[in-house]
Structure 1
Amino acid sequence: MKLKRFLLRYYPPGIILEYEQSKVTKTKSIDLLDLRPESDLDAILDEIIRKEPLITPSRQDQVRHLIEKLQKKLGTSDDQKFYLFKVLRAHILPLTNVAFNKSGSSFITGSYDRTCKIWDTASGEELHTLEGHRNVVYAIAYNNPYGDKIATGSFDKTCKLWSSETGKCFHTFRGHSAEIVCLAFNPQSTVLATGSMDSNAKLWDIEKGQEMSTLAGHSAEIISLSFNTTGDQIITGSFDHTVSVWDVRSGRKIHTLIGHRGEISSAQFNYDCSLIATGSMDKTCKIWDTGSGKCIGTLRGHDDEILDVVFDYTGQYIASASADSTARVYNAVSHNCIAKLEGHEGEISKITFNPQGSKLLTASADKTAKLWDPLSGICLQSLEGHTDEIFSCAFNYEGDTIITGSKDNTCRIWR
């Protein structure tokens, strides 16, 4: 094995090693999820050298420099106020979802008008309109971190794969017998997963444009799916009250997570894939051990359905958004509620941490998006101006730009 180069990953903090083995280029990552500006650099370096044979004495100074850069980045203050940069009259019908590419240089919007549009973030200019679906474009995603492909899932029962550079359609994936409502790329950008109202999920080979397997076993629609960071497992959340964990290569079910008493609205792995968080219409979130499939905690407190649940990058905190107009932050280890985010006047359908984990963004039916301090629950800022409910919101990779997408047919860029 020969080390070729280092790549720095700011969020979550880590160093990627690119190396050659038997003339094949491979990567592995050193995750530094617990790194803090005040962490003991020498102790961290010693631990990395002890565990990682690729890091020889001649490379130690390089690694030290990279850790210093990560610590400096973690230490930068985060008191940015966001201002409205652009209002994009994006579509002729309401938006369904918004998503950034990895760098945040462009973003996409899906709509009831049957199109997906690609936008330049810096100028707010439309780059391409992806046309061809015969019904609502509901689920959209970039193949981050690469960002050269876009997937669109539609109520017309098909999923399409596009070039983000040219807007050309590479493949149309057919096989679902009902609306496609969620999709995801694996981190390696070799597999695309789609979830449908037909109770099935499907895995597609991106290169060949062919179906790899059908993940069958749910008895109601699948409305959430998520790959783990290594891409060898995927979870599907269903209205049948369960979440299933699947082996991607074989298409075989590993676990069924049983315990919720209502439809699943959201399911996600934490960064190291050891835990799964699920949100349900039964007003609770649950935390599950990925290895055993056992429930290790139930997060209570909401008075109405939970519509979204998300981990921060360290996996220390879980945030939930509810139809009761509040969001909550829980400690993922102790399961205690550490903050209650109160201030919205309508249901909160989306919640997301910024990449640094220092802010939470919520999107609500009350026509506003709000920024919060996740530890104190204090509202830092209210993003106002939309004239109808906000369905979708996203941070870019640096955490300094926000997109909000609304039922008012517009999308807003905040910087």
Structure 2
Amino acid sequence: LPDFIRTFDELPATLQSYTIFQLLRRAPLPVLQTLNQVIEPSLRRDFLSDLPPELGAYILGFIDARTLCRVSLVSRAWKRLVDGDALPRVWKDKLEADGLWVGDGSDEQEALDLARGYKDDLFLQRWRAGVWDEQPSPFPPVHVKPAYKALYRRRVLTRHNWKSGTPTRTSFPSSTPVAGAPNTNTGNHVVTCLQFDTDKVVSASDDNTISVFDMKSGTVRANLAGHIGGVWALQYSGNVLVSGSTDRTVRVWDLDTLKCTHAFVGHTSTVRCLQIVEPENVNPDPHGPPVWQPAFPLIVTGSRDFSLRVWKLPMPGKDRDYLPDLSELENEVDPASLNPYHLRHLTGHTQAVRALAAKGNTLVSGSYDMDVRVWDISSGRVRHILRGHTQKVYSVVYDHVRKQCASGSMDGTVRLWSTETGECKAVLEGHTSLVGLLGLTHRNLVSAAADWTLRIWDPVTGACRHSLAAHQGAITCFQHDEHKVISGSDGTLKMWDVKTGEFVRDLLTNLTGVWQVSFDERFCVAAVSRNGRSEFEILDF
């Protein structure tokens, strides 16, 4: 046998193969089984698992999404690599390659929400935990791996449904009374504000009321009464709602108890715009202690009395209520000075403040005096007065990432301004009438005008990417994301493709008018007028 082995070693490869072949032909089954157990592991190679994870992810990046799903079924090792247990790059790269990645930080947050199984509102969690109290409470972070595969699946399905799916439609009147309460609503009022979440729809109108509807059934939960003038500004976060009215007051409501907890007096004319300002961590060191600007949540309000006011946002159930007798304050020179929640009075505009936008410690306001002002919220100091418009300013947006803002005016132009230097970076021309609405996302600036068109602009260069023309009247409302624009006018609600600028389809038709529209990844809610009555339409995609 040793001589045979030595002879075998000296044979050329072809004769070695022939010799083994002849031996295998003569070997019984048990011997072949033993040889198989020895040979098979030597021949089996998992090339993906043998590579560094980064290289494996790079290779998988060339595979389409459907094949990736099949690859994840091959083995546990491949599933870990594809689904991102070891490296989250595969589906994240696929989101970017297929144009489904936004890039403004919302992608990571949505992927984390999907991993948790619920939508996480860090602002509310921090606020309720007392992070911004005088004696801050610790807020331990929760570590969850983002679910990028689930995010990819959701975005592909929702984009398809929005473009060609048939949504489930729910309609209900805006004038439905609360059970057991008289109906004082005539049903033909203007819906001035609209906001919703998966649980409820909240609207305000010019008939002095704020209504809360059940998102699923459309039944009215409550009509919040307290204002004695039309409500033209509204925003809620969690269970805290803030409203501004022609009665010159700002009210804070507890949406859990459906009661008004605070009434702020100080403005001497209509409160036309407001915003809840959430503190931003401005510490560039992610491992260092947070540095919050502003130091705690605020309310900023703009009025037709030419001024803005800054208030501390009270938390119902935690901060004491403030409901003064308004008649006793009528003779006060500045009734806001008696309010413990009033912080600053921002003056300087010489006509009505029509629009505002805020982020962190920066506030931008637009006025009928044709000026745009940039304010430091914490100090109330004016950083810049931006002059250039030749008619009233109706809309502003603030781009905190690029340190710039945009303003729309009755002069038919949109202007881009640097909030750092105060210079006008670009004049965006093309509209022929009042630019009353502006919207901003990470990649696009959208304007809507009374000339029946919307325009999509590059927020960096100011170049016009698309002009959206199909409406037959002034644009009354719109909202957009990185993929679509939903706009209302002339009795129709239309959808447009942001990338191509093409008209996609009518979502609603045969309407008298469209007051407001709002949408998220699944739902579109519109306040419309039909045959002289105001109604709500919910489209579930």
Q: Residue 44 of structure 1 corresponds to which residue in structure 2?
A: none
* Matched-pair contact (CA < 8 Å) for 1:387–1:408: no
Q: Residue 199 of structure 1 corresponds to which residue in structure 2?
A: 306
- Partners of 1:163 and 1:190 lie apart in 2 by 16
- Cα separation, partners in 2 of 1:14 and 1:252, compared to 1, 3 Å: farther
Q: Could you say which structure has the higher strand fraction?
A: 1
Q: Residue 149 of structure 1 corresponds to which residue in structure 2?
A: 240
- The 5-angstrom pairing of residues 175-194 of structure 1 reads 175-188=266-279, 190-194=297-301
- Partners of 2:139 and 2:358 lie apart in 1 by 20
Q: Residue 62 of structure 2 corresponds to which residue in structure 1?
A: none
* Matched-pair contact (CA < 8 Å) for 1:105–1:121: yes
Q: Residue 193 of structure 2 corresponds to which residue in structure 1?
A: 98
SS in structure 2 at match of 1:14: helix
- The 5-angstrom pairing of residues 36-55 of structure 1 reads none
- Partners of 1:273 and 1:99 lie apart in 2 by 28
- Of residues 76-85 and 251-260 in structure 1, the stretch that sits farther from structure 2 once superposed is 76-85
Q: Residue 133 of structure 1 corresponds to which residue in structure 2?
A: 227
* Matched-pair contact (CA < 8 Å) for 1:96–1:137: no
* Matched-pair contact (CA < 8 Å) for 1:265–1:306: yes
Shift of 1:272: 2.5
Is residue 376 of structure 1 aligned with residue 522 of structure 2? no
Specify the code of the residue in structure 1 equivalent to 2:505. Q
Q: Alpha-carbon deviations, 1:136-176, whole Å to 9, x = none?
A: 11111112xxx211111111111111011221101111011
Q: Return the TM-score normalized by structure 2.
A: 0.62
Is residue 350 of structure 1 aligned with residue 481 of structure 2? no
Q: Residue 138 of structure 2 corresponds to which residue in structure 1?
A: 25
- Cα separation, partners in 2 of 1:10 and 1:252, compared to 1, 3 Å: closer
* Matched-pair contact (CA < 8 Å) for 1:307–1:350: no
- CA RMSD for the aligned pairs? 2.9
Q: Residue 325 of structure 1 corresponds to which residue in structure 2?
A: 452
Shift of 1:75: 4.9
Specify the code of the residue in structure 1 equivalent to 2:229. N
SS in structure 2 at match of 1:332: coil
* Aligned pairs, number: 363
SS in structure 1 at match of 2:310: strand
Report 1 or 2 for greater relative contact order, CA contacts < 8 Å, sequence distance ≥ 6.
Answer: 1
- Partners of 2:398 and 2:156 lie apart in 1 by 27
Shift of 1:243: 1.3
Q: Residue 174 of structure 1 corresponds to which residue in structure 2?
A: 265
Is residue 218 of structure 1 aligned with residue 349 of structure 2? yes
Specify the code of the residue in structure 2 equivalent to 1:88. P
Partner residue of 1:307 out of 436, 439, 460: 436
Shift of 1:270: 2.5
Partner residue of 1:392 out of 513, 516, 519: 516
* Matched-pair contact (CA < 8 Å) for 2:249–2:265: yes
- The 5-angstrom pairing of residues 61-72 of structure 1 reads 63=145, 65-66=146-147, 70=151
- Cα separation, partners in 2 of 1:325 and 1:270, compared to 1, 3 Å: same
Q: Alpha-carbon deviations, 1:3-45, whole Å to 9, x = none?
A: xxxxxx99722358999999843599xxxxxxxxxxxxxxxxx
Q: Residue 109 of structure 1 corresponds to which residue in structure 2?
A: 203
Partner residue of 1:340 out of 467, 471, 490: 467
SS in structure 2 at match of 1:118: strand
- Of residues 300-309 and 79-88 in structure 1, the stretch that sits farther from structure 2 once superposed is 79-88
- Partners of 1:302 and 1:168 lie apart in 2 by 44
- Cα separation, partners in 2 of 1:411 and 1:203, compared to 1, 3 Å: same
Partner residue of 1:239 out of 368, 372, 384: 368
Q: Could you say which structure has the higher helix fraction?
A: 2
* Matched-pair contact (CA < 8 Å) for 1:232–1:247: yes
- Partners of 2:345 and 2:534 lie apart in 1 by 35
- Cα separation, partners in 2 of 1:186 and 1:297, compared to 1, 3 Å: same
Specify the code of the residue in structure 2 equivalent to 1:181. R
Shift of 1:234: 1.4
SS in structure 2 at match of 1:278: strand
- Of residues 155-164 and 80-89 in structure 1, the stretch that sits farther from structure 2 once superposed is 80-89
Specify the code of the residue in structure 2 equivalent to 1:180. V
> Where does structure 2 lack aligned partners over 5 or more consecutive residues?
1-102, 113-121, 176-184, 280-295, 323-340
- Partners of 2:191 and 2:402 lie apart in 1 by 28
Q: Residue 289 of structure 1 corresponds to which residue in structure 2?
A: 418
- Cα separation, partners in 2 of 1:386 and 1:194, compared to 1, 3 Å: farther
- Cα separation, partners in 2 of 1:95 and 1:348, compared to 1, 3 Å: same
Specify the code of the residue in structure 1 equivalent to 2:244. G
